[in-house]
A and B are shown apart, each in its own frame.
Chain A
Amino acid sequence: MSEQAHATTGTYLRIAAILVMITLIEVGVFYVPAFQPALVPVLLVLSALKFVLVVLFYMHLRFDSRLFAFLFSGPLLLAVGVMIGLLFLFFGAVRVRTGT
């Protein structure tokens, strides 16, 4: 359970380069009309990738105690669950009212 050594400076720089590249891809995808049908899933996956990279390497969860990961991922999953539940609740209600 104890804390371990963190990543090296080289790793931090590589992660930064990957994060910048993903952001450029996100903005590029936004402007390319051919990607419009798959825009939402592609952007969600890219965003999740950036999120995970920052949390694992910059917040050191990859190297730290699993208890920290539990303290973070538990409420995070709860927040995502609440978000999905609310979206289903509200958009489901709209569909029932409009009959679509």
Chain B
Amino acid sequence: MVNSMGLDNRKMAFWAFIGSECLLFGSLISTYLIYKGKSVVGPFPHDVLNIPFTSFSTFDLLMSSLAMVLALAAIQRGDLKQGKLWLFVTAFLGLVFLGGQVYEFSSFVHEGLGLTTNLFGSTFFVLTGTHGAHVTVGVIWLLTLWVQALRGKLGPNQAITVEITGLYWHFVDVVWIVIFTLVYLIQ
């Protein structure tokens, strides 16, 4: 799968895909910022956003990125035992993040903020919901790799597959870094 430049075609295609994802999230973040402070009815961001809780979610996702690079390093050196462990830890931390998002969304709905309540609700749920959908895909992808590893089908020869999964996972992490700052901290 190596091209004339000595680069893996799958990895190159995946970087191009990540580039297109930048534009997708760029448009969603732009929409959120444009409509920021334009809601005429509440709840408003400062009424519902829980910074300590979201800070924990951010920490969780950063640690999942660390687990992902440790999983890749283990697979590359042929240490399947460590590879399995870190892949599972990454998926588990992703599930914790998703659990936090489900809790956050349900508490917002409980406080009267739905998708159609106001401009804040619409842009917030679409932006963070799209990110959550990406995390869900990532968790499924990671668990698939973990099952492959459990069956002994994931060795150094398949390291590129783990690396591409890692690229996706880290991208989801960097998108959250931006969302955490622009949506939660800069209110």
Is this pair of chains taken from one and the same complex? yes
Partner-B contacts on A (CB < 8 A): 1-3, 6-7, 9, 12-13, 15-16, 19-20, 23, 26-27, 30-31, 39-40, 43-44, 46-47, 50-51, 54-55, 58-60, 65, 67-68, 71-72, 74-76, 78-80, 82-83, 86-87, 90
Residues of A within 8 A of B129 (CB): none
Contact, CB under 8 Å: A76 / B186: no
Interface segment out of the listed B9-17, B104-112, B119-127, B144-152:
B9-17
Residues of B within 8 A of A83 (CB): 26, 29-30, 33
Q: Does B55 contact A (CB under 8 A)?
A: yes
Residues of A within 8 A of B182 (CB): 47
Q: Does B25 contact A (CB under 8 A)?
A: yes
Contact, CB under 8 Å: B15 / A71: yes
Interface of A is mostly: helix
Interface of B is mostly: helix
The CA-CA distance from A46 to B174 in the complex, in Å, is 13
The CA-CA distance from A79 to B27 in the complex, in Å, is 7
The CA-CA distance from A55 to B167 in the complex, in Å, is 9
Q: Does B70 contact A (CB under 8 A)?
A: yes
Residues of A within 8 A of B69 (CB): 7, 12, 58
Contact, CB under 8 Å: B15 / A72: yes
Give the bracket for the number of chain B residues in contact with chain A. 35 or more
Q: Does B115 contact A (CB under 8 A)?
A: no
Once A23-B59, A43-B186, A65-B5 are accepted as A-B contacts, the answer to whether A71 and B19 lie under 8 Å apart by CB is yes
Q: Which 6 A-B pairs have the closest CB atoms?
A: A79-B26, A75-B19, A47-B181, A2-B6, A71-B15, A16-B66
Residues of A within 8 A of B85 (CB): none
Give B86 Cβ to nearest chain A Cβ, in Å. Answer: 11
Contact, CB under 8 Å: B7 / A1: yes
Residues of A within 8 A of B170 (CB): 54-55, 58-59
Given contacts A6-B76, A68-B7, A75-B23, 7 further A-B contacts (CB under 8 A): A23-B55, A55-B170, A68-B12, A68-B15, A76-B19, A83-B26, A83-B29
Q: List 19 A-B contacts (CB under 8 A).
A: A2-B5, A3-B7, A6-B76, A9-B73, A16-B63, A23-B55, A23-B59, A26-B180, A44-B186, A59-B167, A68-B7, A68-B11, A71-B19, A78-B23, A79-B23, A82-B26, A82-B27, A83-B29, A87-B30
